Amino acid sequence: MNGGAMLEVEGLVTFYGRAQILFDLALEVAEGEVLVLMGRNGAGKSTTLKSIMGLVRPAAGSVRFRGRELTGLPPFRIARSGVGYVPEERRIFAELTVEENLEVGRREAPPGKEPWTPSRLYALFPNLAELRRRRADRISGGEQQMLAIARTLMGNPELLLLDEPSEGLAPVIVDQMVAALTGLRQHGVSILLSEQNLHFAGRIAERACIIEKGQIRWRGTMQALLADEEVRRAYLSV
Amino acid sequence: MDPGFFVVQFLNGLATASFLFMASAGLTIVFGVTRIVNFAHGSFYMLGAYLAYTLAGIFMDAAYGAMSFWGAIFLAAVIVGLLGILLELVVLRRIYDAPELFQLLATFAVVLIVQDLVRMTWGGEDLLGPRAPGLKSFVLVAGRRFPEYELAMIFAGPLVLGALWLLFHRTRFGVLVRAATLDREMVGALGVNQALLFTGVLFLGAFLAGLAGALQLPREPANPYMDVNIIVEAFVVTVIGGMGSVTGAFLAALLIGELQAFGILVFPKITLVLAFLVMAVVLIVRPYGLLGRPQAESHGAARAGAGLAAGTPLQRGFWLALLALLLVLPLFADEYSLKLMIELLIFGLFAFSLNFIMGWGGIVSFGHAAYFGLGAYGAALLVHHFAWPMEGALLAAPLVAGTAALVFGALCVRLSGVYLAMLTLAFAQIVYAVAFQWVEFTGGDNGLIGIWPASWAASRTVYYYLTLAVSLAGIGLLWRFLYAPFGYSSRAVRDSAIRADAIGIDPRYQRWLAFTVSGIAAGLGGGLYVFSKGNIDPEVLAIPTSVDALTMVLIGGVETVTGPLAGAALLTLLKDFVMPLTLYWKMVMGVLILGMVLAFPKGLVGILADRLPALQARPAERERPA
């Protein structure tokens, strides 16, 4: 870890209607790190990210980013404070071109930081460069996933919430994704990643949290997780 | 006929299309982004016309010329655009999270308010605007005269379409608007302030409506009815085109404009109904309009609508006391109060029948007047043409309405959401047009008179008891349906058609049955209505009747059992109380409705139930064995 905690989540409680999804969940992401949130389907991974982003309103708990309280703010305020969100379903704007999708995400960079531009993003995701005039529903699923990430980066976030980016991607695309995300780290973007794919997570993340039934049950380094078969069997195997 | 005539008819069609498109473009843009069906769009159009009238008067007095005229038109549109911002800030912003029907009711309240404001400011007379300097003459087209202004307007529509295309594809604002039309939550998660975006969109929508109204001025005078007339046409164009699609609206406007220009030659009476016929056909073939797409599934948790609780002893006591009061009412009530009570009971049944499909079946009908009115007309026609006795006619009323509901319902329930609502409206308007135009059979505009109860029921008191018995029987039957397995299936389909389907309920069939039952009950109310009034005219089938029913349900409380009854009582009594007090009763009603929507988004009974937990029983739904 380098630097203090960038994102601090404490005592998060979230409901969908009457069903409680998160129970007193706590986690921290340090400056510059990649933390992976692992867990089975329905464990609460996506809900955790949505609660941080303000897309679902937590019933209790707090989310602080660089010491600033985010709880209760509308999503656009949270995005403007430096948190970027890439949803699991990607939610690209199907009838807009690749370039226009990027435009929707564009915001000023914080002072002193070099802003992301389409051309810098095309360097990071080479596939997108040729597709810039293509409608976003006419590109492959992997390309859509990259577009979703690139679109969020256009807002120059300092922390990226990535919800299962490897889901449903072909192995060759997964390799490209790993390369791109590794590249991102070098640009100083911290990442909170939700994942079910241990192999993919192992190639990117340094630390892992395991979530089950809406609570963090295990936390440690990625190496420790890869070494600990018992933990994996208890919380991750299907 | 010579070919020149066809050319001129074709050009007329193009001009009509151009105006229809300009009047609808703003509506479809606003709906696309905010998902609000904005009735007040018609008010913006009307205000555009009136403001242009006043401004053109001032400017052209100062300096007569083209600059003054076009300057007045443009300024009028800008002012209307600013009023759109006002609407967004004061009303819409508070209700973005409310159910879409409340938004609709709120914008309808704005329509009522603006109608009276216009009447106060400009009076009720038709105001003919100045003609456009430089475009007052005719050109010769294929040997026939064609007005220059119309010719210019043919180009205005495509010009607006082009300008909108540039706006949406060449500016950041436009790209954001298109993105928000597709997934506005995601746009917010990317850091865009939706509130500002919505304000901008309301300006654009209102500006376009104002522009269309102002440009219309040299053709037809400004009048206080143009808001409702245009909003209906604009809805039709928007729905045919596919809600949210500007290009679709353009195509739809062309289709309607040309069909109207030539349809009138084949069948002169078709104008009133043609647009609705086209809409019905398009929606049957393409359930989301020409260029529309299915509304995006919400990304949140599945919606769970209200369930039903068994009554508490307290509630039962209340109902028994109310019933006792209704039974002894004639002992001390005067003639007028009894007349009012008869109306109240009938509208109670009518509103209850609407909520039967709306609150408990998830089918929103904008055209429930069709079934109420068909019941009324069915009874009246049988009495008038075939000399049926009252008893037979009263029995036939629900059958006539039910048959229509069976036929229309079969087509409507294939759709969902706003499209379904618009198809119900289309059918209601078709029925209205038939009643209005088939003068020999229905009496046309004048309607039918002398439809009185049988001699034994002629006294007000007896008719009151008859109405009480019949309407309570109707309400009781529907009530029974709600608590029966039928009601459980309806609620299952309302909350999730897919899941209901998976457990063996055919969603369409269920909705179809509910729609028909509701139509039967509304028809029964219509039958009672016609004998209580003694006459009938097409107004009973018109949009305000449907809107009244919606208002009753909404202010009483959707998804409450008794809400529609409370709403019917409240609206009937309010109208009775407010109308004699002031010429501007519409404004008073509008303010009251708007206040209620903003203060009690759950309706009156919903609020009561929340405030008084004692009234709420244990949820019976959960304790029933499956």
Residue B29 lies in a domain: yes
Please judge whether B191 and A56 are an interchain contact, meaning their C-beta atoms are less than 8 angstroms apart: no
C-beta separation of A52 from A7 below 8 A: yes
Residue B53 lies in a domain: yes
Instruction: Show the CA angle centred on residue B456, arms to residues B455 and B458, nearest 5°.
Output: 60
What is the tens place of the pLDDT at every residue in B127-166? 988 888 888 888 888 888 899 999 999 999 999 999 999 9
C-beta separation of A190 from A32 below 8 A: yes
Of the candidates B183, B194, B304, which has its C-beta nearest A76's C-beta?
A: B194
Structure tokens at B165: 């295309």
User: Distance (Å, rounded) from C-alpha B203 to C-alpha B78?
Assistant: 8
B213 lies in the same domain as B79: yes
> What value does the mean pLDDT of chain B take?
88
Please judge whether B185 and A85 are an interchain contact, meaning their C-beta atoms are less than 8 angstroms apart: no
Q: Is the pLDDT of residue B626 over 60?
A: no
C-beta separation of A74 from A63 below 8 A: no
What is the tens place of the pLDDT at every residue in B203-236? 999 999 999 999 999 998 999 889 988 988 898 9
Q: Domain total for chain B?
A: 2
Structure tokens at B472: 């309570």
> What value does the mean pLDDT of chain A take?
91
Q: Is the pLDDT of residue B271 over 80?
A: no
Instruction: Give CA separation, B144 vs A16, B136, B260, B264, B570, in Å.
Output: 68, 16, 20, 19, 58
CATH class of A5-235: alpha beta
Residue B325 lies in a domain: no
Chains A & B: contacts with CB separation below 8 Å:
64
C-beta separation of A147 from A101 below 8 A: yes
Angle between helices B507-533 and B369-386 (to 10 degrees): 50
Please judge whether B182 and A95 are an interchain contact, meaning their C-beta atoms are less than 8 angstroms apart: yes
Q: Give which of B172, B190, B193 to mutate to test A binding, by max A Cβ within 10 Å.
A: B190
Q: Is the pLDDT of residue B395 over 70?
A: yes
Residue B564 lies in a domain: no
In which band, very low, low, confident or very high, does the pLDDT at B612 lie, cut at 50, 70 and 90? low
Long-range contacts of B132-137 (CB under 8 A, 24+ apart): B132/B66, B132/B69, B132/B70, B132/B218, B133/B64, B133/B65, B133/B66, B133/B68, B133/B69, B134/B66
Residue B193's Cα: distance from chain center in Å?
31
Residue B368 lies in a domain: yes
Of the candidates A55, A101, A155, which has its C-beta nearest B185's C-beta?
A: A55
User: Distance (Å, rounded) from C-alpha B315 to C-alpha B615?
Assistant: 7
What pLDDT score was predicted for residue B2?
A: 76
Structure tokens at B102: 């409340």
Whether A55 and chain B come into contact, CB under 8 Å, resolves to yes
- One-letter identity of residue B312: T
The span from the first CA to the last CA of chain A, in angstroms, equals 31
Residue B620 lies in a domain: no
Tally of CB atoms within 10 A around B98? 18
What pLDDT score was predicted for residue B301?
A: 38
3-class DSSP state of A125: coil
Listed residue (B145, B125, B128, B140) closest to B219, CA to CA: B128
Domain closes at, from B492, B514, B543: B543
Whether A91 and chain B come into contact, CB under 8 Å, resolves to yes
What percent of chain B is predicted at pLDDT more than 90?
55
Can you give the residue range of the structural domain that contains B376?
342-543
Residue B189 lies in a domain: yes
Residue B148's Cα: distance from chain center in Å?
36
Instruction: Give me the mean pLDDT over the B503-508 stretch.
Output: 91
What's the Rg (C-alpha) of chain B? 25
In which band, very low, low, confident or very high, does the pLDDT at B292 lie, cut at 50, 70 and 90? confident
User: Distance (Å, rounded) from C-alpha B593 to C-alpha A136?
Assistant: 44
B217 lies in the same domain as B351: no
- One-letter identity of residue B219: R
User: Distance (Å, rounded) from C-alpha A175 to C-alpha A204?
Assistant: 11
Q: Is the pLDDT of residue B561 over 80?
A: yes
Q: Is the pLDDT of residue B300 over 60?
A: no
Instruction: Give CA separation, B134 vs B146, B159, B425, in Å.
Output: 15, 19, 41
Whether A75 and chain B come into contact, CB under 8 Å, resolves to yes
What is the tens place of the pLDDT at every residue in B401-442? 999 999 999 999 988 888 888 889 889 999 998 999 888 899
B375 lies in the same domain as B511: yes
B147 lies in the same domain as B22: yes
What pLDDT score was predicted for residue B602?
A: 66
Count of residues making up chain B: 626
Instruction: Give CA separation, B217 vs A101, B21, B48, B172, B210, in Å.
Output: 41, 16, 9, 33, 11
What is the tens place of the pLDDT at every residue in B94-125? 888 777 778 888 998 999 999 999 999 999 89
3-class DSSP state of B164: helix
Torsion of CA B610, B612, B618, B622, to 10 degrees: -10
Q: Where are chain A's structural domains?
A: 5-235
What is the tens place of the pLDDT at every residue in A100-130? 999 999 999 888 888 999 999 999 999 899 9
Please judge whether B192 and A104 are an interchain contact, meaning their C-beta atoms are less than 8 angstroms apart: yes
Residue B568 lies in a domain: no
Phi, psi of A173 (to 5 degrees): -70, -40
C-beta separation of B206 from B84 below 8 A: yes
